[in-house]
Structures are given as structure tokens and as C-alpha cells.
Amino acid sequence: MSRYITDRYKDFKAYEAGEQLDDREYIRLNTNESPFPPSPKVIQALKDFDAGGMRFYPDPFCTSLRRKIAGKYDVSPENVLVTNGSDDVLDYAFMAFNPIGTAKEDRPTVVFPDITYNFYEILCGLHGVSFSTIPVGGDMTIDPEDFMDTGANVVIPNPNAPTGIALQLSDIEKIIRSNRDHVVLIDEAYIDFGWESAVPLIKKYDNLLISQTYSKSRSFAGGRVGFAIADKGLIADLLKIQQSESPYNVNSISLALAEAALDDEEYYAANCRTIRENRRYTRNALMEMGFRVLPSSTNFVFARHPDIRGADIYEELKKRGILVRHFDRDRIRAYNRISIGTKEQMDRLIEALADIIKEYEPKTENE
């Protein structure tokens, strides 16, 4: 840290992304990336891309992709905002809708579950927003009743991360309805892995903001494309922030490739089906080994062993060339978040876990 940083950011702790190590070859099950390459149509679009055009700025409004996304979700282009990853949607929303107030005694202007995507809390720190968290139950589920009439903006990922547990759409609707004077942001980063989206509800509720991403189900984490869908009033607010903060927010290669991805929805739907199969397979195998595995509607599972510390499992897997995500935080220290990869990767994981459990078993005298 330099001596020039302002007081506001001196103690601010930055978001910690999943580690990317290159000291050996790892199976990366720690950042919920897709194990599958982008569609052949995307790869072809990259080959066909006119590199000479790179000298021009990209379309600041992402008009063509915006239109295409609107077509897919049966909404108008004015209901869509395209961003550089869905983290940017969250960033703009935290800026646009949460009054800044750093005093501890301030009423929270935004609420979210205590066990959830850590980035929300980071954004509160970044933008000086007062927040409060609502505890999930002992089984890690969100009780929708706890989010009724909060008197604050609400953020809920559906399905939640890192638990993987989803809320029924009818419960999401109740939450939106009971917080009509505030924005309800439903983060649907993992929606494509087998859950029902709240997108159709934007026609009924002008306080509903949905974020989605290309990073997971469309194998596009490196391309950085996300989008928001909402009533056109909310989208206009976010667009104003985007155009002021980062006017050419999405680069021209990503825009072209993201359009090509939308031309091959069957390819990605098939990948999502495979992920669901591999998820079921992995969950069953882990449970047979004695793990407690939360029910997941995402491309990861959240699992803990009754006897072995979460941090130890993480370390032991790393020694065996497998990266998973461990969060050293209250309530979830015992768990690891494990991304679902190919069947072969999952078999390697299961083998490694069996090995770790064997080593940890108390040895009898005869052994």
C-alpha cells in the first residue's frame, strides 16, 4: 500500500478470486468454470473475426448482442444491458440503487443472505453502502419469510452460491412483491444448470433486476460477458452508470463471439445436461464416502466430511493436483465448494478423496 491511498480504502479488503496456480498441472474445480470448450460456432467466429476492426471502439451500447439476448428471452432490447461479466451488473446496481452511508448505525440500505456470494459485501465496502445479512437456516436454505418487507434493497442469488441451493420461483415472487419500494436483485449466474428463471416476472414487477452470465453455462469466463434483464427504467439507470464509468465496457471480440454463442444454444444445453448428470454422479459418490453434500442446482457441489476439516481436504486435494474452493469463514469452514467437471475429472476427484479418507482413518494395531 502506498501512503497516497485515501482513508476510505486503507482497510478495505479486496475480493479474492479463486487461485490460479501454474507450478504443475491442476484439475481446476475451484472457480466454477465450464470443463467444455465454447461452441464450434464461437471458435469459427473467432477465426473469422476481422482483426483490422480492432482499431475502432466497440459499440458502447452493445446493440446487436442486446437485441439478440432480448429475442432469446422474449423481452425488448430496452430491457437488456450487456456488461463485462455479470460482476459489472452487480457493481452498477450497488452504485445506482444503494444510498452511500458509511456510519455503522445507518439503517442497512441493502440486505442479502449471510452465506452467499462474497462479492456483495465487497461492493458495499467499495461504495460505502451499509448492509445487513440475513442468516440462512442450519440446513443452509434461505427462508423466504426472512426477506419479506425488509425496508431495504434485496440481493439473492438463485440458486445461491456457494451452497448451490435454489428457491422456488413462487417464493422469489413473494419477495419481490413484498419489497415493492425497493430493488430486488436476483443473481442468476447459475440458472442454466437446471432451475427456473425469474425473467418472465420483469413484465409484472418494475423493481426486479436479474443478472446472468456467459461465464458458466456458455464456457465464456475469459470472454467476460454478462447481462441484466429488468424493466426499462432500471436498465436506463444502470446504463447511465455504465456509460459514465466504463463507456466501452465490452470489447468487440467478446461481442462478436457472444453473438455466435447464442446461435448454438443446443450445444450449451447439452453441456448443461452433462453437468447435471456428472453432478448427480459426484454427489452420490461423495455421500457414499460419508460426505454431507447439499442439494445443488448449479455446476458445483458444497460438501463437508464429518471428521476431516474442510481446510485439510482442500490442502490434501491440492497436493494431489486438484483445486477446490475453501472459504475460511464462520459457518462454512467445514465445507469445500467443488465445481463439476467432466466425468473423468470427477473420477479423479473421487479417487483422491477416497485416498485422503483412507489416510485419515485411525489405524488399527494390525495395520
Residues that bind ligand PMP (CB under 6 A): 85-87, 117, 157, 161, 187, 189, 213, 215, 221, 226
**Considering the complex, what minimum distance in angstroms separates the CB of residue 305 from ligand PMP?**
23
Q: What angle do CA 180, 201, 241 make, to 5 degrees?
A: 70
Cβ closest to ligand PMP, residue 108 vs residue 226: 226
Closer residue to ligand PMP (CB): 108 or 113 = 113
- Nearest distance in Å: CB 81, ligand PMP: 13
Of the two residues 140 and 308, which places its CB atom closer to ligand PMP in the complex? 140
In the complex, the smallest distance separating the C-beta of residue 85 from ligand PMP, rounded to whole angstroms, is 3
Q: How far is the CB of 122 from ligand PMP (least distance, A)?
A: 11
CB of 320 to ligand PMP, least distance (A): 25
**Smallest distance from ligand PMP to CB 258, Å:** 12
Q: How far is the CB of 91 from ligand PMP (least distance, A)?
A: 9
Name the grid cell of 282.
Answer: 459426484
Q: CA angle at residue 126 from 120 to 130, to 5 degrees?
A: 65
* Shortest CB 180 distance to ligand PMP, Å: 24
Count the Cβ atoms, other than its own, within 10 Å of residue 114. 14
Q: How far is CA 315 from CA 18, 147, 230, in A?
A: 14, 36, 42
Of 35 and 157, the one with the shorter C-beta distance to ligand PMP is: 157
84 neighbors 245 (Cβ within 8 angstroms): no
Nearer to ligand PMP among residue 101 and residue 125 (C-beta) = 125
Closest distance to ligand PMP from the beta carbon of 56 (Å)? 25
CB closer to ligand PMP out of 262 and 356: 262
Nearer to ligand PMP, 161 or 184 (CB): 161
